[in-house]
Structure 1
Amino acid sequence: MGLDGTRPFLLFVLLLFLRACFSVNTDDTFSKGQSLSAMNTDSISSKSGRYELGFFERGTPPKFYLGIWFKRLVGQKIVWVANRENHLSDPSTSRLEFSEDGNLVLLEASSKKPFWSTNLENLPSNSTEAALLDDGNFVLRDRSNLSTIFWESFDHPTDTWMPGGKLGIDKAGKVPKQLISWKNSDDPSLGPFSLSLRIYPNGSSEFILQWNRSQVYWSTGVWNGETFGSLPWMRSNPIYNYSFVSNANETYFNYSLYNSSMMSISFIDSTGQLEQKTWLSANESKSDPWDLLWANPKSLSDVYALCGAFGIYHDNTSHPCDCPKGFEPFSDTQTTLNDWSSGCLRRHPLQCENRNAKKDWFQKIPNITSPINWKAYSAVSARRCELACMNNCSCTAYTHNSSGCLIWEGALLNMQQPSDGGEAGQDIYLRLSADEPQISTKGTKWKVWVIVAVLVAATGLILCLSVCFSIKRKLKHKGETAASSNDLMLFDLSTEIHAISDGTNCQDSDKKRGKKDVELPLFSYESVLAATDNFSTANKLGEGGFGPVYKGKLLRGQEIAVKMLSKRSGQGIEEFRNETTLIAKLQHRNLVKLLGCCIEGDEKILIYEYMPNKSLDFYLFDPAKKQMLDWGTRIHIIEGIAQGLLYLHQYSRLRIIHRDMKPSNILLDSEMNPKISDFGMARIVGDNELQANTNRIVGTFGYMSPEYAMEGLYSIKSDVFSFGVLLLEIVSGKKNTGFYNHGSLNLLGYAWELWRDDQSLELMDSTIGYPTSTSILVRYINIGLLCVQENPVDRPTMLDVVSMISNEHVPLLTPKQPAFTVGRNPTINLTENCSINSVTFSVMEAR
């Protein structure tokens, strides 16, 4: 053989040698200098040959992941995924290897950043190795001392709980070890369902299944030392040995198998059910070698929001979810895989804010179990219930029955309709666009004409009677003044608010100036005196910047709040008119309701619905009362405030900037629902107006945005800044103003320092303990810091904020340093003027 003929042979041998040196075979370990290649389908196997770690693909187009599965079984059952939220797309350049600092990194040549990493510090970089153990645990350990484990996959489970693995809470790192479902069978990214351990203040604990890590729909019951309350069979079962461990560093459950020859897994399915299965060697030839031991909840109908937003669950079909008329699935590809987490989308947008368009209409959906988060309305008839929903742009559905009127705002979740026609619920009327075709009335036209004829005749008769009655009434009341138009004591809060029939209302004094009626009742001063027992000191709730606030009581026993404009407040006339004009036109569950007003002589009085739980600052900054605000309540309050501001900025008839958002202006009703109050400082801006200017700066120090406080420029981003301060105060239980810690002048500076040092959890109000998921807490702090950035352009809109709050899958940006955190002297003595009343009103402060 000549020299030219030996070169290809030598090159081939060299390549074989390099592959033997630098790629990985089926050994159970690999170390620095070696790698796993997706292109070569490299893998490592546990010594017993039971488990295998390598690359697998899912979906169309294919996406590649690093994972662990049972090696010998028919059908790949993935038990762990490294990069479930960051898939690889180029297998030819994808590999798992060691970095210079001894960490495992998953790389793709086209990307400069790793797709996944063990991300540890201070490793002995030259002595680490990776190993797949016989229990399926993938570990990073010290090669010179195999018992020293630096990192293990059991501490980072995906959707599967393996025997020997831990589920619970790492107290040191404040990280929950929980299961989160796959999105669907082709997508291992985070699904909507999770299993986590809940620990109560008395030390008891239970596992809970949750939708979106917030809505609990099933639980194991409390652990009694031997079994969970809902799983009594655990005490005497011959397969599993469960154990509970709690110490200073962690609290967790794990389990083992009495028979080590068996294989078993517990996992949360993409449909929201927790299942436990076993595999025996005798099953190896079966197409599905797994035997199902149990599944909870037992029926898919018990899984919360399985069909997503506006989806309807049917209990006896092979495809359990469907979309109502006027909607279509968010993704046909996802629904083919029975993934309805994204729900249904409208085919046509609603016409609510389009004044020149046809009105929306309601489609009847019979026999539906009521979705949660309904709002009770005081309408006494089905027609008034329908009008209440139609006149509220946020309302998407209503129902009316013997119990009254219920309306829903936003997406409808957990709608269920039995396919066998069984009685399950009630008729719900779903709001559809005017562009959505209605059911044809062909064949019933003659009935329509008969009804129209009867209605026309009846209407004519009613009009004639009304004219006669009106003339008689005018003659009877001729000479009476408009000021005595309405008796507050006889007012019924359970009815809708309409203008007084003679047209008298709070803005009559402005008609001469050409200002428009606001359809708000005017009450006599005498009746206000009667309701408040002559403004008795015992009824005084507090005093704000514009005057005192009193509690009143009507003849029907209903309670009200009466706000008096101080005669000494020369600044208050404009604010009084502003508040009556604005609030009368606003209708939202998270805005305080203005019932009417009184104007007689120098007296100017506003009548509000009464908030029995006073204001947010009454609880939040009191060491004893703040414990009443648990994490569920605080998150509910944050969400409610965000929804109210979103309505003001985007969905109300007028775009409104509040300009004085603070805890004392957040009132709480009997169910701790937040309601934004005090619109004396609010301003209306045009739909296309991004910014406005004022020469008179008003508000409360600590909540004003820098551009407003320094330059008099205000916009919707000014309210976003105030909301961010509020959010951080709610999370921490501390005031922004006058807050000093570690050299920080205010709470914003302290929160920023903790965020920068990756210690955000220290901001949490320690008096109420940790929430179920600490990741939720970190997410809220991130959102708060995004809202208080110095440049208004960097701050999100309230629409963005609501999206970030309601959808945990929305990625968050990294915040920039907040305003008012640099260039200040922490020794300056700042005097804070706050509302001291429990109903709360703003304080006017000079620049």
Structure 2
Amino acid sequence: MSRTISPLVPAFLLLLCLGLQLANGSVTDTIGPGQSLTTSETIVSAKGKFELGFFSPGNSTRNYVGIWYKKDSNRTVVWVANRERPFPNSSAVLTLNPDGNLVISGGRMEYTVANTSAGRDTYAMLLDTGNLRVTKRVSGVVLWQSFEHPTDTVLPGMNVSDFTTGWSLTSWKSTEDPAPGPFTLHLGSWNKLLRGSWKELFVMKGSEIYWSSALIGRLADILVIVGESVTWRSKYTDEMLRMVLDASGQLRLLSWAEVDRSWHLLPSPKCGAYALCGDYSICSETTDRGCDCLPGFKQVVAEGIKSSGRGCVRKIDLKCGNYTKFFPLSQVDWPSNPNKLDISDSVECMSACSTNCSCIAYAYDHRNHDCLVWEGPLLNVKQLSEDDGYGNDFYLKLDPSELSTKGHKNAKVAGLLWAAIIPTISLALVFSLFVYCVRRKKELKENGDDLLLLDLSMTIESNSSELTESIRHGNSRRGEVKMPLFSFASVSAATDNFSDANKLGEGGFGPVYKMQKSARY
């Protein structure tokens, strides 16, 4: 007896096949044990912020595993797994093997990205922070994460530095080569020589300090020190920000703008770029001018054009011996690459630089009692604001004539100021005296006694008494006898407006009038 096949079976098998295809083609954020990613496959974080897969920078045919921003069509890479071991062909795969290790393999090459040896109870997941984690499935313990192995980029949520483990960031070799470049970024207290236990950013080129800066400006607003680590402030963890140490050694902070779907460089401290002003220059964080020559120096002129970026040269060359003086600069960030002398006294430190023909500047660190001297070109000198706690004193060696010239210039300026001030004060005094005299004359005119109310007998008696008293004491000068003072209005009224009828006569002092009978006497 033959069996009939239900028409629902083919439909079920078709749906099952489609479901398997959709499952294989669906976007996931996880690589399970035994699973692999080929050069044409990727995983995407849960909210679609980041993507992980293979990439080839520029026109290169080399294959790298990296993480980039999903929405950025230019594939801005923020992390590279195998920057020192690129794979030359497209047959490479990324696998979470049964041992729990994350491995890139292709042909005869193999590179271990994460060695956990945790067995099959593991999985790798790409988070929306851009962090790739290898985690134990049951306990949830994080065995390995890309945030602890950064390349050239710091992302929000990443601990920028752990002072106890020697964290660092390394630039790309070039814009199209992810291999480690010559520049490394550190955040800590590398320069206990200079600032004790203070924390700051510093970039090294090989074994030399290339650039350093305190956590100031925008960086101070974004980064915060928590215990022995520096991390992003919580309000920025959801923003599309990245801090990059580029191939030229510059630290750049960039923000994503949805308007034009591109990255924009955020303002950094004015003097943030290393050696921005060139040799023997000073960069000011507090003025619009920015770059200026150090005292005793002038701008380099090339082809008749002055350029602040070319640096400065001495106006007068130094003479070897005790023919030099020091010009003090305050509230500055010291130049790069000082030498430390085994001297713990500021006077001895000055003397050591003064007698050393190669020494061009010195500073004494009172915090750590260290003597610092500079012998090469002065680079990266910064003038800080008065309230900046990183400011230091710095002493620049100059020819004595430079110091006397500066004193002469100051005296000349002071002389000009006094020449302008003294005449102004004199005019003000003369004008004040004139006003006083006018007002006094007016008061005397308006406030004299009324002659019509005068008791003449009392006045004469009083004056006679005063005169007699003066003679008795042997002092009969006229100035000591008080005479009555009358207002012009009362005199005019008493003489009927100086009427001729009241005129008694005329002498050497002018006419004499008699008072009207209505006056009291």
TM-score by length of 1: 0.30
Which of the two has greater strand per residue? 2
TM-score by length of 2: 0.48
- Using CA pairs under 8 Å that are at least 6 residues apart, name the structure with larger relative contact order, 1 or 2: 2
Q: Which has the larger radius of gyration?
A: 2
